[in-house]
Structure 1
Amino acid sequence: MPKSSPRSLLLAILLALVAVPVLAQQGGERPPQPVTVVTLEARDITLTAALPGRVAASGVAEVRPQVSGIVIERLFEEGKPVKNGAALYQIDAATYEAAKAAAEAGLAQAEAQLRAAQREEERQKELRERNVSSQQVLDDATAARDVAQAAVKVAEAQVLASSIDLERTTIRAPIAGTVGLSQTTQGALVTSGQANALTVICQLDPVYVDVTQSAAEILKWRRSGQQVAEEAGAEVFLRLADGETYEHAGILAAAEPHVNEQTGVIVLRLEFPNPDEFLLPGMYVQVEMPQAVVEGAILAPQEGVTRDRRGRPVAMVVNAENVVETRELTVQRDQGSDWVVTDGLAAGDRIIVEGLQKVSPGMTVAPEERALAMNAATSAD
């Protein structure tokens, strides 16, 4: 093996001395790991639950005839709004006009008999004063006058009854609303108080939605000291069958004052404005029903919450020194894309939502707010 020359040995030593700083620089500390965080805020949160329900008209009137006869005309347009007292049907009134005329004639006859009885009473009073007639005759004349007065009242009542029957030959709307389809036609015979309605009028502004609320759920929140949202008058929202949210908010109009013994629920009646008559009776909806108001709760993004080996919810938080900490959370429930957290997180905490796989507790990171990161990405595009 050839011996190394002094010059070659010196060159190798110099190269080794140069490589030492380079290797030291390569083995130094890495820069902080960038992560995306969301700064949390504490606020009062209304917890909601989706409860099924159906729309019901706030007022329903089944129109039935109050007199019997032949329908000679329908006076409304089906499916259109009608005013209170608007004429809907016309029944043949000839028979009732004749009955009223007969009642008026009977009244005129009774009034004539009353006038004659009054004149006879006056004449008997004068004869009695002159002692020409007896007291018995005067008493008979007075009694006849009283009978005639009663007959007039009976005749007046008959005239009033016949007038009412004649007026009822025009069937009118008992309430204002939207009238439905007609269940009878021109020429049909209708009877007073019949079982089948001629048509139905519905009041569609506002409308009601009846839902059931678990009594156990209400008791749970009352025992925990939370405020029940129904008692707070919180607004209620509808989700329609197509998944869209109804644009108008509703309120709690009434509640049953008892619990159903078989199902353990309380029926709640919600009232919603319906100016465009978009909601129709019988329509299936889902009510975003407030369950309770949690004061000082934290809404934590679901992507920032994971589970440990025991299944407990945990989150990675960046402290003031940009060091990662692990927090064990108390989660009430989900609220949209967030978790409602009542313990483990506080206002001002920065929870990591992106980059969780690359960090561990105690690691120093370079946090960036999600809103700023999204703006930066948008500007780069």
Structure 2
Amino acid sequence: MAGQRGIFARIGMVAVPAALGVAAVFYAGRLKTLPEPVAANRPPALVRVITLAPTDLVPRISGYGTVAPVREWRAIARAEGEITAVAQPLAAGDIVAADTLLFRIDDTDLKLDLANVEAQVSASRVKDQTVEISLGLARKDLELAQQDLKRQERLNTQGVATQAELETSRRQALVAETKVTDLENQLKLNAAEREVLATQRGSLERAIAFAEIRAPYALRVTALDADLGQYVSRGQLLLEAEGVEAVDISAQFPIGRIGPLLRLAGEGATVTGLGARVKLPAADHAVVWKARVERVGDAIDATTQSAPVVVRVDDPQGQSVAGERPPLRRNMVVEVELFAPKRAALVVPAEAVAGGTALVVSEAGTLEPRKVETGFVSGDLAVVTKGLAAGDRLVVTDPSIAVPGMAVKPVEDETRKAEIAAEALGQSPGAAKPGSGMGSGAGSGKGGGAGKTPGAGQ
């Protein structure tokens, strides 16, 4: 009995699984097919868009350059002697007003020489007076001698006067005439001497004037090379300074960017007709100075292919405000903006049209790629000239999968529109806020195609 039970147990261990397998195959055809998973009804991807409309734009380009004074001046000694007076204060960095006495050089010897010349001129005039008196007497003597000569000639003709008496009269007349001539020549010599003295006097007066050195215009002292009590010679450098009435900035601008700006400025526009301003970035705000385009440099940089444009800022010292706007000083590196008159244009984020392609949301709510052309790019903005029109809804962030025809849900990004409007006018858009285009995913930039991660910038 025990052996039979073992045999039946072994048969059951094989037969039962086999029967279950046959039953499963038999009933498999009768079982209903399980419903396939229903495709997930995912909502359309959210994308941020801006509805395009003409925007006021101040086209501008930026370059960088260093500040230099318009005028530089050096004080050179034109008289020699000891420095007896120096303006106070007078040191490097000090600003002195126009016509300020900077140095006085000892002119005592020059004044003594001038007094000597003046005395000689006075003596010459006294000589003239005495000579003129003598000349008057000599002319009377000559007149008498000539009358006596005529009388002797008449008497000699009549046979009354001898030839010897006639010769004596002629000799006396000649002597009187010679004396008159000598006195007249003396007057002429005196006049010539006075002319020489006048020249000497002018030279001395000029030298005395050189003994005082004054500021020709308002100056900022950059170097002081002489001091009180120092003996200086002609040609010696005393002081170096620069004018404070204006400064020039020679900024470099790529040639390829100046042309588009001029085209936006209108027909016949020139570089010197553009507006200009100078900016200096600060910790909490940008410092700005009004400027004007003075000229265009003549040399093109062979390496960078950029052209120098010189702008001028008038009265940088007067425009300075303590704690807010420092004075423009030599060698400061500043940003120079050239801008054209304000005009309306289709202004979009440059990232949104990178590569000449843009994404727009169609009327059906699907993504539609567009080929676009830009005519001007300034910073983060671009001016679209072809491919987009007012009313188009431009995508300013990429969806997770940019498939043409994909359904999306557009969300108008009013903050980004406001930033674009402010930046187009050259105003500060302010700090970026969530949803204003600063991507929160791995993508970077202002959400115009730079960020590629799901939900970037939303």
TM-score scaled by length of structure 1: 0.74
Which residue of the other structure, out of 370, 375, 400, is the alignment partner of 1:357?
400
Q: Distance between the aligned counterparts of 1:123 and 1:215, measured in 2?
A: 90
CA 1:363–1:260: 2 relative to 1, 3 Å: closer
Q: Distance between the aligned counterparts of 2:302 and 2:415, measured in 1?
A: 54
1:144 maps to 186
Equivalent position SS for 1:362? coil
Q: Distance between the aligned counterparts of 2:415 and 2:230, measured in 1?
A: 75
Deviations 1:318-377 (A, max 9, x none): 345544322112245642222343322223322111353366433454433212699998
1:17 maps to none
Deviates more, 1:34-43 or 1:261-270: 261-270
1:317 maps to 360
1:249 maps to 290
Q: Does 1:205 align with 2:255?
A: no
Look up the equivalent residue of 2:63 and give its one-letter code: A
Contact 1:180 1:200 (8 Å CA) reproduced = yes
> 1:88 offset after TM fit, Å?
1.0
Look up the equivalent residue of 2:82 and give its one-letter code: I
Look up the equivalent residue of 2:122 and give its one-letter code: A
Deviations 1:247-278 (A, max 9, x none): 1131111234x446977765432101312261
Look up the equivalent residue of 2:336 and give its one-letter code: V
> 1:170 offset after TM fit, Å?
2.2
CA 1:70–1:335: 2 relative to 1, 3 Å: same
1:6 maps to none
The 5-angstrom pairing of residues 40-189 of structure 1 reads 40-42=52-54, 46-51=59-64, 53-77=65-89, 78=91, 79-127=93-141, 131=146, 137-189=179-231
Q: Distance between the aligned counterparts of 1:234 and 1:223, measured in 2?
A: 14
Contact 1:227 1:293 (8 Å CA) reproduced = no
Q: Note the residue ranges of structure 1 that are not aligned, 5 or more in a row.
A: 1-19, 307-311
Over the aligned positions, Cα root-mean-square deviation in angstroms equals 4.0
Aligned residues: 345
Equivalent position SS for 1:246? strand
TM-score scaled by length of structure 2: 0.63
Q: Distance between the aligned counterparts of 2:408 and 2:299, measured in 1?
A: 55
Normalized per residue, the structure richer in strand is 1
Deviations 1:169-192 (A, max 9, x none): 222223222223421222322111
Q: Does 1:234 align with 2:246?
A: no
2:328 maps to 279
Q: Note the residue ranges of structure 2 that are not aligned, 5 or more in a row.
A: 1-34, 148-172, 321-325, 419-432, 436-458
Contact 2:98 2:218 (8 Å CA) reproduced = yes
**Larger relative contact order, structure 1 or 2 (CA cutoff 8 Å, min sep 6):** 1
Q: Does 1:330 align with 2:373?
A: yes
Larger Rg: 2
> 1:135 offset after TM fit, Å?
5.1
Equivalent position SS for 2:331? coil
Identical-residue share of aligned pairs (%): 21
1:300 maps to 348
Look up the equivalent residue of 1:39 and give its one-letter code: T
